[in-house]
């Protein structure tokens, strides 16, 4: 097949858009900013969901489901929250259509106007905390450790498939605790879970950090973030976990009786990752030939392509493939046998490369005779012929090696692009010439952030939690006391 | 614990509502008609989802995701479809709020009015077929076998938890085929999948049938249904599968080039089950003490309650429970050890009864000394003392027995309540005195259905597919030629 993918080096942005479409991951829909996630893309998301869901349950969380629509007045109850979300939300005002009098179709029925408008949830803190009010009376009711998998809407003006869409899929954890200490521990635990997921499953190295005050979630006292680096040197916020303090408990009057008999406000957290992770996954590893998927998240881990001229040859190969397949499936490895007779091997090779299948086996009559098979790995494009005997172990080891290799490759790339600078001139130079993360002392103010953003298009990403608090020095812009922060151009 | 559940015999409807709330399954939210599905209820739904999803994938389907919002004009493209859904839909008219000038919160920003209103999907045929138009050119692109798990909204005026809510969760399969024969085979296959799921997992016997013309899905040529019977003698439609003919292909101009080179309209199906199944599950089996869950869908299959006075006794019991638990988990049986020290055993027994845990083990110091354990089953409330040795086999067998027993019980109940009648008087008498399904010849017209509905509150349920087509005779109302149909009062 002809891939017709632009090169990353020529137009990274176009390369990404085309790759998402050509690899059958997603496409734009007729509704502005809303995407269709196609079966192959959704299969990757399902694998992500399954792993994350397991990690959430292993840390004591249960799933639940809360309403899609939120009364307008709820949004206003937490001042920062409404400020953060009111300007980009879909508003339901009516609950009925009727036939147009001129017969031109259906129109909104003015008689069916809602007394109070409803907002399609941009996030669910408000509707969830209004529910928690009824669930929590005493310290015995705490903690509440709940997650929901849901769709949310934020009316984005400029959208890009997976990275920024008006509707997206995500999970949002919402927990309630008796003490500040416990709530902070929860927010930090989920921060760690996200980092582990990104690195161990997506093979995407991340910086774990905390956001500056102005970059916090609307309504949070602290926002923990994981920041990944894409191949064009731009950062991508891949997941956030928020310590909400007592903000939503106060807004929705959620109190509990403590062991000591005092009535106190509950402490909260929320945390989420979304289909944006798909964008991170694609941009972190893929190349000019197409997707490169980490084996742990690849819907198809191994594809087997028969090389034959005559029907009998195909039959003989198919018999052998049956055995190989069974041996691989027994190890939990997913396999597709591409025996379509409408396409040539070269076309198939290109298609599975485009779709990022980690390992490809090719087998012809000569292989059959010799008891061998040609094994190609997607990440390095190396090909090698192996003995058929024990091929399941060979493939299993190779999948592990690929998972590790693409992580290490992304890690080297990222580590080479964290640059410490000590002046604003140096900051600008590094940003222009090298990209990636620029580390510098920063006074933490919105004024400084805005100045840097306006002049360089870089935004403050985070203060890495693994750095010592002692990393303090004069802000490169204002000279005021600052902490060492990471800045980058970002998605 | 005091359950405070009404008796089914006194007020079945109130019993249901209270049970849903007290067993922590779901509750009403602040948004009219929208429910909160609580963690325990959601855990049951997750088990249903997992089994159904596996059945869908085993029959060749993949999951995908389509937009929540549908342009108003799409609804109108299929005439019956808009007629069926326009009168009960949530309409998004604006995409922004702004601060009220009087400082009283946020108001809809009139400057952010959408050019075309968007409908929160009541079902996704229109948005999906508008997408399929781009996916389908040739017979090689067919069939498309796609499912999505999603939330949908239908603005219901009278709502009941799980049974009828404005927002509900469901899956909707949407398939596209080259021939009428294939599409009908697909609709029938999914009909069969639903029936198998209901009977094998939910332990709810169902009648497989086809709907009368007026009860078909809006836009379908044939609607296949599974109909269950609740303990109050009312029927519940538990799942439907639709043969759509070429209706949506024509509405959205979806054509393909056949093998023979002809341009033809595509044939379609759609099929769905929803959180309504939760209502069916609850009402089919539960009793005055609470939920009765089939072991295959119970989030907790076995609860172990320690009986002790002194802390040392609890420790000794806990040591033994560790072994039992490990042995049960090894068999894939989920276990909860309820060692809360804030509640007495009697309270715990009542709580787990209310929550429908199929098997309860109770263990005290004497059991420990004797190497025995008391085993209580939820369905029959029988208790028996068993040897601890091999308890995992005992429990495994018991779970299978319970699954089978509650199915057989529901089946007998249902079979006793299918009554054949040969006159309208008899019809009315059976409906009043006995309830359940009433079988009679029916001419299939809306006029007859309406008359019966108005006079008896019974509706036509289905023509059972297992009955011979030869079961024909004069309609009990009009005397015109009819088929033997099932009628019932229904949810």
> CA of B128: which chain A residue's CA is closest?
A36
Angle at B68 between CA B65 and CA B70, to 5 degrees: 115
Query: Which residues of B are less than 8 Å from A170 in CB distance?
Result: none
Residues of chain A found within 8 Å of residue B116, distances taken between Cβ atoms: none
Nearest CB partner across the interface for B90, out of A37, A95, A150: A95
Query: How far, in Å, CA of A382 to CA of A380, rounded?
Result: 5
* φ and ψ of B483, to 5 deg: -110, 160
Which residues in chain B touch residue A120, judged by CB atoms under 8 angstroms apart? 68, 92, 120
Tell me, rounded to whole angstroms, the distance of Cα B129 from its chain centroid: 25
Between CA A478 and CA A134 the distance in angstroms is 48
pLDDT of the residue at B468: 72
Express each pLDDT in A330-341 by its tens digit.
999 999 999 999
| Confidence band for A249, pLDDT divided at 50, 70 and 90 | very high
A303, A384, A309: which is closest to A351 by C-alpha? A303
* Residue A469 pLDDT: 63
Give how far the C-alpha of residue A218 lies from the chain's centroid of Cα atoms, to the nearest Å: 20
Examine the domain organization and report whether B156 and B261 are in the same domain. yes
Same domain, B77 and B178: yes
- Cβ of B73 within 8 Å of Cβ of A134? The answer is no
How do residues B49-100 score in pLDDT, each as one tens digit?
999 999 999 999 999 999 999 999 998 888 788 888 989 999 999 999 999 8
Instruction: Give pLDDT, residue A471.
Output: 77
The alpha-carbon gap from B458 to the nearest alpha carbon of chain A, in Å, equals 28
For residue A462, what are its two tokens? Answer: 């985070």
Q: In chain A, what residues touch B73 (CB-CB under 8 Å)?
A: 105
For residue A355, is it within any domain?
Answer: yes
Question: By the 8 A CB rule, do B49 and B147 touch?
Answer: no
Residues A204 and A239 in one domain: yes
Say what the pLDDT of residue B351 is.
97
Whether A463 shows a pLDDT value over 90: the answer reads: yes
Closest CA to B406 of B450, B457, B364, B359: B359
* pLDDT on residue B470: 66
A76 with A82: CB under 8 angstroms?
A: yes
**Contact check, Cβ <8 Å, B91/A105:** no
Are A478 and A342 within one domain?
A: no
Return the pLDDT at A76: 86
Q: Is A136 on the interface with B (CB under 8 A)?
A: no
Q: What is the mean pLDDT of chain B?
A: 96
Residue from A92, A107, A113 whose CB has the most chain B CBs within 10 Å, to mutate? A92
CATH of the domain at B217: 3.30.930.10
Same domain, A149 and A220: yes
Query: Within the 261-320 window of chain A, which residues sit less than 8 Å (CB to CB) from chain B?
Result: none
pLDDT reported for residue A104: 79
pLDDT digits (tens, 9 = 90+) for B454-463: 999 999 999 9
Position B458 in a domain: yes
pLDDT category, B104, cuts 50, 70, 90? confident
In a domain? residue A269: yes
The verdict on A105 touching B (C-beta cutoff 8 Å) is: yes
Are A239 and A178 contained in the same domain?
A: yes
Percentage of chain B beyond pLDDT 90 is: 92
pLDDT (mean) for B250-275? 97
For residue range A322-331, what is the model confidence (pLDDT) as tens digits?
Answer: 999 999 999 9
Over B250-269, what HEC string results? Answer: HHCCCEEECCCCCEEECEEE
Domain total in chain B: 3
The residue in chain A having the minimum alpha-carbon distance to the alpha carbon of residue B61 is A39
- Nearest residue to B400 (alpha-carbon basis) of B389, B411, B408: B408
Q: Which of B259, B285, B311 is the last residue of a domain?
A: B285
Q: Using 50, 70 and 90 to split pLDDT, how confident is the model at B1?
A: low
Give CA–CA dist B94/B277, Å, rounded. Answer: 34
What's residue A1's pLDDT? 54
Burial of B71 (0-12, 13-18, 19+ CB in 10 A): buried
Indicate left, alpha or beta for B470 from its phi (over 0: left) and psi (-120 to 50: alpha).
alpha
Inter-helix orientation angle B276-285/B391-415, to 10°:
90
In this model, does residue A2 exceed pLDDT 70? no
Is position A238 within any domain?
yes
Task: Show the tokens assigned to B428.
Answer: 């009315």
* Burial class of B468 by CB neighbour count within 10 A (0 to 12, 13 to 18, 19+): exposed
Helix (H) or strand (E) holding B489: none
CB contacts under 8 A, A 391-420 vs B, are none
- The verdict on A229 and A281 lying in the same domain is yes
Q: Which domain holds residue A271?
A: 12-71+127-285
B93 touches chain A (CB under 8 A): yes
> What pLDDT does B80 receive?
83
What's the rounded Cα separation, in Å, for the pair A95 and B12?
Answer: 31
> B132 and B207: one domain?
yes
Q: How far is A168 from chain B (nearest CA, A)?
A: 9
pLDDT score of A101: 87
- Sequence-ordered strand ranges (E) for A21-166: 26-28, 35-37, 62-63, 69-71, 91-94, 97-99, 106-108, 113-120, 144-153
CB within 8 Å of A106: residues ≥ 6 apart: A97, A98, A99, A100, B72, B75, B76, B82, B86
Q: Which single residue is written with the structure tokens 């298609």?
A: A351
Q: Which residues of B are less than 8 Å from A108 in CB distance? A: 72, 91, 93, 117
- Across the interface, of B42, B63, B105, the residue whose CB is closest to A64 is B42
Res B105: pLDDT: 85
CB-CB neighbors (< 8 A) of B119 in chain A: 97
ipTM: 0.96
What average pLDDT does the structure give for chain A?
Answer: 96
Check whether A165 has a pLDDT greater than 80.
yes
A104: nearest CA in chain B? B76
Mean pLDDT, range B122-128, rounded to an integer: 96
- For residues A38 and B62, what is the distance between their CA atoms, to the nearest angstrom? 9
CATH number for B470: 3.30.110.30
Alpha helices in B389-465 (DSSP H): 391-415, 424-433, 446-456
Tell whether A253 is within 8 A of chain B (Cβ): no
B135 and B280 within one domain: yes
Contact (CB<8Å) B167/A117: no
Residue B63, in any domain of the structure: yes
Pick from A211, A199, A243: nearest CA to A487: A211
Is residue A113 in a domain?
no
The domain spanning residue A365 has which CATH number? 3.40.50.800
Q: What is the pLDDT of residue A342?
A: 86
Q: Are residues A63 and A167 in the same domain?
A: yes
Asked if the structure places residue A425 within a domain, the reply is yes
Q: Say how far apart CA A375 and CA A380 lie, in whole Å.
A: 12
Question: Are A372 and A243 found together in one domain?
Answer: no
Reading the block at residue A358, the tokens are: 């980690």
Domain boundary among B365, B398, B431: B398
Report the distance separating Cα B399 and Cα B201, nearest Å: 12
How far, in Å, CA of B226 to CA of B224, rounded? 7
Q: Hey, which residues 10-69 in chain B have their CB within 8 Å of chain A?
A: 27, 29-31, 34-39, 42-43, 46, 62-69
Residues of A within 8 A of B108 (CB-CB) are 91, 93, 117
Decide if A106 and B34 are in contact by the 8 Å CB cutoff.
no
Instruction: Report if residue B290 sits inside a domain.
Output: no
Can you give the pLDDT at residue A193? 98
| The last residue of a domain, from among A261, A285, A309 | A285
For B314-325, the pLDDT digits (tens) are 999 999 999 999
Beta-carbon contacts of B444 under 8 Å, excluding residues fewer than 6 positions away, are B212, B213, B482, B483, B485
- Residues B164-168 have a mean pLDDT of 97
Q: Which of A30, A47, A76 to mutate to test the interface with B (most CBs of B within 10 A)?
A: A30
Q: Does A127 touch chain B (CB under 8 A)?
A: yes
- What's the pLDDT band for A467 if we cut at 50, 70, 90? confident
Counting one residue from chain A and one from chain B, the pairs whose CB atoms sit within 8 A come to: 193
A184, A249: one domain: yes
How far is B490 from B488, CA to CA, in rounded Å? Answer: 6
DSSP state of A405: H
What's residue A470's pLDDT? 66
Report d(CA B93, CA A95) in Å as an integer.
Answer: 11
3-state helix, strand, coil in chain B (%, to 5): 40, 30, 35
Q: Name the token pair of B5.
A: 């559940």
């Amino acid at each position: 097949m002809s891939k017709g993918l632009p090169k990353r080096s020529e137009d990274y942005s176009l390369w990404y858009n085309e790759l998402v479409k050509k690899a059958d991951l997603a496409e734009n829909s007729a509704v502005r900013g809303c995407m269709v996630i196609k079966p192959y893309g959704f299969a990757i998301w399902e694998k992500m969901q399954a792993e994350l869901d397991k990690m959430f349950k292993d840390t004591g969380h249960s799933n639940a489901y809360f309403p899609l629509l939120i009364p307008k007045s709820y949004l206003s109850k937490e001042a920062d929250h409404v400020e953060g979300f009111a300007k980009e939300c879909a508003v339901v005002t009516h609950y009925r259509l009727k036939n147009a009098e001129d017969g031109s179709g259906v129109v909104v029925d003015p008689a069916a106007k809602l007394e109070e408008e409803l907002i399609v949830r941009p996030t669910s803190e408000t509707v969830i905390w209004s529910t928690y009010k009824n669930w929590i009376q005493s310290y015995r009711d705490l903690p509440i450790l709940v997650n929901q998998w849901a769709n949310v809407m934020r009316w984005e003006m400029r959208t890009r498939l997976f990275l920024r869409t008006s509707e997206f899929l995500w999970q949002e954890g919402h927990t309630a605790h008796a003490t500040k200490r416990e709530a902070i521990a929860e927010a930090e635990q989920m921060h760690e879970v996200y980092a582990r997921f990104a690195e161990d499953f997506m093979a995407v190295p991340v910086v774990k950090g905390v956001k500056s005050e102005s970059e916090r979630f609307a309504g949070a006292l602290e926002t923990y973030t994981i920041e990944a680096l894409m191949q064009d040197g731009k950062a991508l916020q891949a997941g956030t976990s928020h310590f909400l303090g007592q903000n939503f408990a106060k807004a929705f009057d959620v109190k509990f009786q403590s062991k000591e008999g005092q009535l106190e406000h509950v402490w909260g957290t929320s945390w989420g990752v979304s289909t944006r992770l798909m964008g991170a996954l694609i941009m972190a590893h893929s190349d000019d030939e197409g997707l490169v998927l980490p084996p742990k998240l690849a819907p198809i881990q191994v594809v087997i392509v028969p090389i034959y001229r005559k029907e009998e040859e195909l039959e003989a190969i198919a018999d052998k493939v049956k055995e190989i397949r069974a041996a691989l499936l027994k190890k939990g490895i997913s396999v597709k046998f591409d025996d379509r007779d409408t396409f040539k091997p070269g076309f198939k090779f290109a298609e599975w490369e485009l779709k990022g299948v980690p390992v490809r086996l090719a087998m012809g009559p000569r292989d059959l005779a010799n008891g061998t098979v040609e094994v190609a790995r997607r990440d390095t494009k190396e090909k090698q012929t192996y003995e058929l005997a024990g091929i399941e172990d060979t493939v299993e080891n190779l999948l592990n090696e690929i998972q590790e290799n693409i992580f290490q490759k992304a890690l080297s790339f990222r580590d080479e692009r964290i640059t410490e600078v000590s002046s604003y001139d140096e900051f600008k130079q590094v940003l222009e010439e090298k990209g990636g993360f620029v580390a510098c002392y920063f006074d933490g103010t919105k004024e400084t952030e805005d100045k840097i953003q306006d002049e360089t298009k870089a935004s403050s990403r985070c203060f890495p939690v693994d750095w010592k608090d002692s990393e303090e020095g004069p802000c490169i812009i204002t000279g005021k006391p600052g902490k060492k922060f990471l800045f980058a151009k970002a998605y």
